[in-house]
Structure 1
Amino acid sequence: MAHPTEAELGSAEELGVQLVRLIRLIHRAKSQMGKKGPDGIEQSAYAILFHLVQDGPQRTGRLAESLHSEISTISRQSNALVQHGLVARQADPDDGRACLLAPTAEGQRIFQEARDQRTRWLAEVLADWSEADRRALNDLFARLNTDIETRTPNLTELTCSPQAEGGHE
């Protein structure tokens, strides 16, 4: 792989700054909008519900892997979702000893309400943008996400590189 040019590094640095800014703004917006649903469920537990609605019933281990979380954390959060009737346990058809977590009808309703709220908010944010700009943003975000998915860095390579050891940052 060729070394990036100074211009490419400058663009990447600016993108990094803007992505960090975006993540902070999203976190702030999420906390201000609050969560829909029963009290006593951690905000992060809704990520489990999202994955189950989007990807179908799953084992706890697969959810932990997808969410980059510990199995114990996923178990605790999914137990709260089960207790509130948003997720149900069902037998795994491939292994009767194991169980899958699946969204209930109420869980799907809560998920859809949250998605609708997010969609309305984003439509409001982009209301002054032209259709061409909205389409371009969606296309570029999709491309960025795909490229990030296919080029996830190997963390051991990043931490063992001479530049990382030199303390530049």
Structure 2
Amino acid sequence: MSTTDELQTADEIGSQLVRLVRLLERVQAQYQAEHPDAVDRATYLLLVHLAKDGARRAGALAEAVHSDPSTVSRQVAHLVQLGLVERVADPADGRATLLVATDEGRRVFDENRQLRNRGIASLMSEWPDDDRRTFARLLTRFTDSFESHKARTALPKS
């Protein structure tokens, strides 16, 4: 059972998370409006996983991003069409294919990551070093807790 103080703190955190998500959505919508050819965020997330974690099958990629395989298939087709991802034969099973970020896909990922990192660094430039490090540590801890809680409370697949 949660205490009143814990619930008040949770309410404050929840309110700030909603505010942050709305701000991120607004920024993303503005970016999409200014760059109509840009890959949407959900599709870009697939490229992120492939660039960071390496080649994988479509099913494993869908699982990694907690998405439906048919949705991932459509998104991957778009990334392939853009030349950011390619399908290659799985060396362990020639009948299966792996999805791999192309050199261009890794370049786009690296460029976007550097842009994001510079933006966050600029946003937090007036924060003391200890505050930035503490925030990073606590945000990681919060995200890890959220992820493990969701995994524990997930409904079993039928």
TM-score of Structure 1 vs Structure 2, range by shorter chain: 0.7 to 0.9
- 4+ long deviations beyond 4 Å: none
Query: Structure 2 vs 1, CA of residues 52 and 12 (structure 1 numbering), >3 Å: closer, same or farther?
Result: same
Distance in 2 (CA, whole Å) between partners of 1:71 and 1:57 is 16
1:40 CA drift (Å): 6.9
The AA in structure 1 aligned to 2:115 is: Q
Distance in 1 (CA, whole Å) between partners of 2:10 and 2:2 is 10
Normalised by the length of structure 2, the TM-score is 0.86
Residue 103 in structure 1 maps to residue 101 in structure 2: yes
**What aligned pairs does 1:40-79 form with structure 2 within 5 A after superposition?**
41-79=39-77
1:111 CA drift (Å): 0.6
Q: Please say which structure displays the higher CA radius of gyration.
A: 1
Query: Structure 2 vs 1, CA of residues 111 and 34 (structure 1 numbering), >3 Å: closer, same or farther?
Result: farther
SS at match of 1:85: coil
Structure 2: segments with no counterpart, 5+ residues: none
Structure 1: segments with no counterpart, 5+ residues: 157-169
Query: Structure 2 vs 1, CA of residues 61 and 146 (structure 1 numbering), >3 Å: closer, same or farther?
Result: same
Distance in 1 (CA, whole Å) between partners of 2:41 and 2:130 is 34
Report the structure, 1 or 2, having the larger helix content: 2
The AA in structure 2 aligned to 1:69 is: S
Aligned residues: 153
2:22 — aligned with what?
24
1:38 CA drift (Å): 9.2
Task: Compute the RMSD of aligned alpha carbons.
Answer: 2.1
